[in-house]
Amino acid sequence: MGDCKTFALGDITLQSGVVLPDAKLTYQTYGEINAAHDNVIVLPTFYTGTHARNEGFFGSGRAMDPTRHFVVSIDMFGNGYSSSPSNTPPPFDGPRFPHVTLYDNIACQHRLLTEELGVESIALVAGWSMAGCQSYQWAAQYPNMVRAILPFCASAKTSQHNIVFLEGVKAALCADGNWNNGDYDGQPERGLRAFGRVYAGWAFSQTFYREGLYRQLGHETIEDLLLDWEEDHVQNWDANNLLTKLWTWQNGDISANELYHGDFRAALGAIKAKAILIPCADDLYFPPKDNEIETLYMPNATLRPYSSPWGHCVANPGNVPAFETFLDTCVCDLLSIHEER
């Protein structure tokens, strides 16, 4: 499983009413909590992310620096580390794993922070893609605990177009005859390869392909890139895990709970945290317009779009050094805002 810690949640009741027994969250921490307990940074994981992959967003000399901050990187449900279809025993194994919402994820992350780590206040929740969606959820679900959020290439509510995009990759995976409604004996390799191949068309912009920027990733041809995406999904992902997180993503909505009863504007308005929203102008499924609308109702939010032909994958650690610099500037601005108050 790699270098991580496990927090035993026990039996948890999900928003659906289903009780998931012996649930767990895996996570890793970096640095130490300071005497004032005001240096905590929370990094949830993105769709195909793990606690370890978040290490690309921080480090010595970066804006998020474990020598100054207590960084907590938390695996979301379904990613193969925390409770997931692939590691949960019957009766909730494989396709029988229950639907888990972002609300469920954050409620359990809150327990980890407060019960296990003794955290009462969070300086910053930040993240890319689905991790950014969780940063909105944190700020709406626990508005008095979160001082700042920095979602990049993300949204507070999954758009209809984003849902349709995800239906496409889902259909590609499930078309494999070996899928067997999730009760497969071996991974549905053809479906996973199709999933990766379709996804690659959305992850980067049209300009990325037109200008041959895939060569910067070491691929001589588009086919080389597609084969790499295929292999990544075959080697690294369980099909049921991917679909569990896909459902969570499709149903992302910070207002879909008893706090806000579906009133999206009210949920945005309840966010007290300082926020910088970073869309990529060329992101094909988290477009800037969604974030523009959010800033109309979030009292302490500013919009800082970043233009790059790398599209959604501009934020993938190591892809675009200039974006890392931009991200660090935004982190510094948010943290200094708090420190000056």
- Catalytic residue at 110? no
Sheet holding 5-13, edge to edge: 5-13, 19-30, 70-74, 40-44, 124-128, 148-152, 274-277, 301-303
Other beta carbons within 10 angstroms of residue 41's beta carbon come to 27
- Catalytic residue at 129? yes
| Residue 201 burial (C-beta neighbours within 10 Å; 0-12, 13-18, 19+) | middle
DSSP-based three-state secondary structure for 161: helix
Q: How far apart are CA 226 and CA 194, in angstroms?
A: 10
Query: What DSSP string runs through 225-261?
Result: HHHHHHHHHHHH--HHHHHHHHHHHHT-BTTSSTTTT
User: Pick the catalytic residue: 129, 135, 155, 255?
Assistant: 129
Q: How far apart are CA 335 and CA 337, in angstroms?
A: 5
Tell me 222's DSSP state.
H
Q: How far apart are CA 302 and CA 334, in angstroms?
A: 11
Structure token pair of residue 245: 């997180």
Query: What DSSP string runs through 256-317?
Result: SSTTTTT-HHHHHHT--SEEEEB-BTT-SSS-HHHHHHHHHH-TTEEE--B--TTGGGGGST
Q: How far apart are CA 245 and CA 48, in angstroms?
A: 9
Q: Is the peptide bond before 188 cis (omega within 30 degrees of 0)?
A: no
- Start-end of H helices in 40-156: 102-111, 130-141
Q: How far apart are CA 251 and CA 95, in angstroms?
A: 18
Q: How far apart are CA 310 and CA 333, in angstroms?
A: 24
Structure token pair of residue 304: 């800082």
User: Pick the catalytic residue: 205, 283, 290, 308?
Assistant: 283
- List the catalytic residues: 129, 283, 312
